[in-house]
Structures are given as C-alpha cells and as structure tokens.
Structure 1
Amino acid sequence: MKMIKIKTAQNIDVDYELAGLGDRTLARAVDYAIFLIAYIGCAMVIAMLSFQAIESKTYAGSNTYLIPIIVWLALCVLYDLVCEVFLNGQSIGKRSAKIRVVSMNGARPTIGQYLLRWIFRIIDFGITFGSCAIVSVAVSKNRQRVGDMVAGTAVVKLPTELKFNNLVFAPITEEYETQYPAASQLTDDDVVLIYDVIKNFNRTRNSELVYRLAVKIKKHLNIITPDTINEYQFLEIMVQDYKHLTSGGQSILV
C-alpha cells in the first residue's frame, strides 16, 4: 500500500493511500460514459435539425450543424481541466471513484499544475491512445502518469467521509467528570479529525500525527497537561470531555 501525506484544513498531515490503476481506470470509464452520452445527445440534435430542414424543405445551414459538434468537442477537450479546477481536483468520474488530484506536498494543486496535467494529456491519452498513462501509473513509484510527474501531482484515494453522528461511542459512568472544560470550544469537525488521527495511529503507529494534533489543540485552547498524561491520552480525554459537555455526557470514544 503506497501512501502520501495530505495536509488537512487544520494544518495536520494525514497519510492517504495513492490511487491505483484500477481506481483511475474506473474514474476514466465514468468520464468516458459522460462523453458518450453527450455525443449521443449531439447526434440527436443534428438528426432533429436535419429532419426539420427536410420537413420544411429549407436549408438549415452548415453553421447550425456545427454548434452541437463544437459543444461536444469543447466538452471532451476542456472537461478534465474545468472539473479539476472547480471541483477541487476531481472530475465526475474521480468523485464517483472517491479519488482526487493533490499536489505532491499534500496541498491543493495550483491552476498551473492543473494546466500542466491537462496539456500532457496529449501524450498520456492522445498520441499514445492511453498506453503511456497506463504504463506510467502501473510502474512509477507514486503511481503517476506523465502529466502528474511534470506537474508535481498525484492522485489519492479519499477515505469514507466521517460524520460526528456516525462516530462510535460507548457508555461511561454517570460519575464522569470533565477534565478540560475548554473542550466545549471544539467543533464536531474537530472531534472527527481527532477520531481520524487516533484511528490512524492504531493502524500505522504514526505518533507524529498524534503529537502534532495534541500540541495544536493545547495551544489553541490554552491547556496545560500534567506529565503523567501523554498526547494520545490527551486526545482521548478531549473526545470524552467534548461528548460529555455537548450531550449531557454519557459517552467515550472507542
């Protein structure tokens, strides 16, 4: 499993899995299906215009037929660039496959990077009919096509989006006492992030994420912890306290 670090909105680096050839092929198949539907739609428009011209015994003019053709060609050419710029690194196909384009440093790619990826589609999918993209994604270290290598981007798998209400909690005793009242200043999204980092640590043993998030929360909430509590324990306590303070308090993260 190949990983890359992604910087979250809270400025915390989290490891994400690089998208493989299968994920990218699935996304491309969905996008091509959109092109095919658009092509059929344009063909139907041209057929309808031709039928109306024959029925009315008039000449519709070549420019009239060119309009749907130009629209379809523009869709095929500009689709990826427009989608990735305005949909945060995703086309409709990538969104359905739950993958996204990111910069190699984990940040959101710039318009220049999206543009480079788009230009090199000529090599990846045009001149080589897709064979270059398939080979480069299959054999490259970071599963990149040529456009990714030039632009300094990669495509990653997105984790299943967590909602606070979907987090799994277990009952705690009624005698539970809040240790850090400042936990009430957190948001549901903050707690989801803590949950992600705890799960990530349990899976990868990457203590750096735990340390950095704990330090950031302590600084943000002006909390000082005793030496007997480590950063992992602190994050668990923050989740306990938040749930206790916001819901009358009967839960703890498991």
Structure 2
Amino acid sequence: MNTVSIPTAQHIALDYDIASVGERLAGSLIDFAIKGAYIIMVILLWSILFGNSVWGLLFLIPALFYDLCMEQLFNGQSLGKRIMKIRVISLDGTQPTFGQYLLRWIFRLVDFGLMNGVVALVCVAATDKRQRVGDMVAHTTVIKTEPRTLLQHTLYMPTADDYQALYPEVTRLSDRDIQLIKSLLVQASKTDNPAILYQTAEKVKTILQLRSSLEPEAFLQQVLSDYNHLTSREQD
C-alpha cells in the first residue's frame, strides 16, 4: 500500500497510508450530499419567504466555498473526509498552506467540472500518490487518519513484581515518546524494515545517554518493558 512519510518532533519518519480511491470517492459523495441538501434548503426557504428574487442566490455562496473553508479551518478535513477518517496533507508531511488548499479548490473545476468527475477519478486511480489534478498542482495528497497501531499491537507486556528495570532512565521519556516507539516497532514488523529499528534505537540511546549491546529490537522492547514497570509502580 502506498504511504507518505511524516517526520515527527523526534525527527523519526512515520508512514501514513494514503487514502484509497473508494475512501476519497465516499468522502466526496458525502460532501456532495451535504452541499446539495444545503442548496435545496436555501432555495425552498427563499422561494417560500421571498418568491423568486435573484438575491437568494447570495445564500448559495457558502456551498461554493465549502471545500476550501472546511479544509482550511479543520486541518485538511471536510465533513465527508472527517466521516471517512481521511485528510489532506502536503507531500512533505507538513500541514498544507492556505495557498495549497486554494489551488486544490480552484482545480476542482478541472477535476470535477469535466466529464462529471471522471478526470478526478482516473487521476486518483492512476497516480502513485492517489492524486487528482488539484493535488498534483498543490503538491498534496489525502491520507488515512486512523492510527496504524491498534490496541492489540501496542506491545504492552505486564511485568512481574520482582522485575528489575535495566534502564531506569526511561522514566525521562514521555507517554508520547513511548507510544511512538511502539508504533515504530509495529511498523518495522509490518514492513520488514530493520533500518527503522536501528534509527529509533540510536535516537533513544542519544536522548537517554545510554549504551547497550542489545540488538535494536530487543533494546526497544526492553525500554518499553522498563517504562511500563517503572511508571506502573509510580502510579501504585
């Protein structure tokens, strides 16, 4: 499955799955239904209250700018994307700028205005990063927001009461650091990429000023076990 690497604050890249054609299509259909319902409601209410006055067209403007405003205000998500748990992101892993959102919005005329959306569908299906024309111009794509690490994959293992922590320094790490290590261990296992393990282990050793003869995977699992044990004892 295609992915986009996003650097974390710890300067370690995490891979995020790119949204599938079906997920993007479903999100677009949901947004289309929302905009359609709004337009119908406005037309009906205006015709009932004010007849056929052309000034009612002004109230249709929000539907025109719906996608641009939603993505700008809600971190790359419209309501359809939020429901489908996907969002727009820059190819370099950063949050898109307003200019990038604007380009995506402008090129909706090409993607969805020509051949009733066939252009967008073909481009998303054919490109490596699942990009429509607006994405290619803006250097963006759409990724899944659900974490790849599920609860059963967190590698948490209860420790015995007589457990002896090998690295007591791990308490200097935060819960977020530990969750990142867990995610990277799972990612390395899924992708068979030992480089991730080596890079992560070296980063942890640098942060904690540790030396270890353990292999990267064994070292990281030891760090998790020590952290789980020490922090659980503190809470007791």
TM range (shorter): 0.7 to 0.9
Aligned to 1:239: 224
Instruction: Report the equivalent of 1:53.
Output: none
Question: Which position in structure 1 is the counterpart of 2:129?
Answer: 142
The answer to whether the 8 Å contact 2:159/2:225 transfers is no
Question: Match for 1:225: what amino acid?
Answer: R
What does residue 218 of structure 1 align with?
205
Task: Select between 158-167 and 133-142 the one with higher mean Cα deviation.
Answer: 158-167
Judge which range, 201-210 or 132-141, deviates more.
201-210
Partner SS, residue 94 of structure 1: helix
Counterpart for residue 21 of structure 1: 21
- What residue in structure 2 maps to residue 55 of structure 1? none
Aligned residue-pair number:
235
Query: Are positions 1:95 and 2:82 aligned together?
Result: yes
Q: Distance in 2 between matches of 1:78 and 1:167?
A: 41
Instruction: Extract unaligned runs of 5+ from structure 2.
Output: none
Unmatched 5+ stretches in structure 1:
51-59, 250-254
- Map of 2:8 onto structure 1: 8
Tell me how far apart the structure 2 counterparts of residues 11 and 159 of structure 1 sit (CA, whole Å): 21
- How many Å separate the matches in 1 of 2:23 and 2:150? 24
TM-score by length of 2: 0.87
Larger Rg: 1
| Alignment of structure 1 residues 124-143 onto 2, 5 Å | 124-143=111-130
Aligned-residue offset at 1:167 = 4.4
CA distance in 1: counterparts of 2:104 and 2:25, whole angstroms: 17
The one-character-per-residue Cα deviations of 1:156-184 (angstroms, maximum 9, x if unpaired) are 22233769899463332222112222211
**Identity over aligned pairs, percent:** 38
CA contact (8 A) 1:102 1:153 kept: yes
* 2:170 corresponding residue in structure 1: 183
Hey, what's the Cα distance between the residues in 1 that align with 2:146 and 2:211? 32
Cα pair 2:23 2:84 within 8 Å, conserved: yes
Q: Point out the more displaced range, 155-164 or 234-243.
A: 155-164
Q: Deviations over 1:74-124 (max 9, x none)?
A: 222211111222222111111111112111122222222222111111100
Cα distance in structure 1, aligned partners of 2:232 and 2:71 = 40
Aligned counterpart for 1:86 among listed residues 73, 78, 92: 73
Q: What's the counterpart of residue 196 of structure 2?
A: 209
CA contact (8 A) 1:183 1:238 kept: yes
Q: Secondary structure at the match of 1:89?
A: coil
Contact 1:124 1:132 in 2 (8 A): yes
| 2: CA distance, partners of 1:15 / 1:93 | 23
Letter in 2 for 1:131: V
Backbone CA RMSD of aligned residues: 2.6
Is the CA contact 2:38–2:63 (under 8 Å) kept in the aligned structure 1?
Answer: no
1-structure distance, mates of 2:192, 2:114: 45
- Decide whether the 8 Å contact of 1:163 with 1:192 is kept in 2: no
1:30 is paired with a residue whose SS is helix
Instruction: Indicate if the aligned counterparts of 1:178 and 1:245 stay in contact, CA closer than 8 A.
Output: yes
Out of 148, 151, 156, which is 1:169 matched to?
Answer: 156
Q: Compute the TM-score of the two structures, normalised by the length of structure 1.
A: 0.82
